[in-house]
Amino acid sequence: MRLHEYQAKEIFAEAGIPVPESQLADSVDGVLDAVDEIGYPAAVKAQVHVGGRGKAGGIKIATSREEAREAADSILGMDLKGYTVDRVLVEQGVDFVDEYYVGVTMDRGEGEPVAMVSTKGGVDIEAVAEDDPDAIAQEHIDPAFGLHPYQARKVVYDAGVPAEYARDVSSILSTLYELYEANDASDIEINPVMITSDDDVIAADAVMNIDEDALFRQPDLAEMEEDSYQNDLERKAGEYGFDYVRLSGNTGIIGNGAGLVMATLDLVDYYGGTPANFLDVGGGAKADRIGNALDMVFSDENVDSVVFNIFGGITRGDEVAKGINEALEDFDEIPKPVVVRLAGTNAEEGMEILNTDLVQVEATLEDAVQRAVANAEEVAQ
């Protein structure tokens, strides 16, 4: 579960991490009321689950009431990388002289959390990791003992943070790890941590993602889940219990198992298409669950074609085929062309059950993806 910036900042502030004064607004008048109270300059920031909001026009600085009105008019209701902006965070402007990156995530290769600090903050940290990996200092953490104070100081020192800010930055890092552990986070970061002209250290952004499987023991965070949904598709995925991520392409993808879905995404890209989503129906999917998956993908107006990639194990091919048939038979007209590839348990029985008047069937994943990409190109013309 991904928290919005405003939600993460509320948690950070409660834990003692300094954050700018801010208010949430969902209308132009709400923005104007907020800036009147907060003062100028103020940042108007779209609350959507995407990176690069600033470059995409989702963050604007207002130095006057008129600029605040223009920013609100521009951002509220805009389409930002496939998401409609319905809320903004109005935040006190920060007069900064430097920007750092501080975060904690899971290093799956090492099987341990890793603390990361860089003096190259305020930019895409993934790009920094690729172009200049030595610019990111790392310290692995034994979860049995947590982040020791000396480790926090060491990684801040290794990153090259000036001595006058090192104590505050290491304190923020230690607090981040405490929040990471206590809240069953999958990753948590501040990018950037800003050094102000008054030599204060402040969290200008906030990212906090929660392990959804742990929400049963995080009741306060579970209450935020509804507000964390960015659109009706994400809300619907939550109701259906699907692992779902909306992307910017036009080829819808449905599969069982994260690895299988990721492989399908890669093949769509390889054959010249653009994936519209990641949708994992999980193991043991019955007919009604498959129908729900189709309902979700059909509901995405960006989708021009759909590819099903199912490998039978717990999920039987004949059950999947029944679900596809039942779902499609409810439509007077099939809204998007559907290509199906079945393999594994009862795949042959499933292929025989499939109504080829409603779907296109391919024997291999490569053929199925190529056909789906071609269908999407044809529809988009």
Cα separation of 340 and 355, whole Å?
11
Cα separation of 212 and 343, whole Å?
29
- Return binding residues for substrate: 256, 313-315
- Return binding residues: 45, 52-54, 91, 94, 99, 191, 205, 256, 313-315
Cα separation of 367 and 164, whole Å?
60
- Residue 162 has φ and ψ, to the nearest 5°, of -55, 150
Cα separation of 241 and 235, whole Å?
10
Q: Residue 136 is inside which H or E element, if any?
A: strand 136-140
Residue 227, pLDDT score = 56
Cα separation of 4 and 2, whole Å?
7
CA dihedral defined by 265, 268, 269, 272, rounded to 10 degrees? -170
Residue 284, pLDDT score = 60
Give me the sign of the Cα torsion angle 32, 34, 36, 40: negative
- Return binding residues for ATP: 45, 52-54, 91, 94, 99
Residues labelled catalytic: 101, 189
C-alpha separations of 202 from 18, 194, 309 in Å: 5, 5, 46
Mean pLDDT, consecutive 10-residue segments, the chain of 381 residues? 93 97 97 96 92 89 96 93 87 96 95 97 90 95 96 98 97 98 96 96 96 90 68 77 87 92 96 94 73 88 92 81 86 89 90 91 95 93 76
Could you tell me the domains of the chain? 21-92 (3.30.1490.20), 96-223 (3.30.470.20), 232-380 (3.40.50.261)
pTM of the model: 0.71
Helices of type H across 132-254:
149-159, 163-182, 219-222, 225-228, 232-240
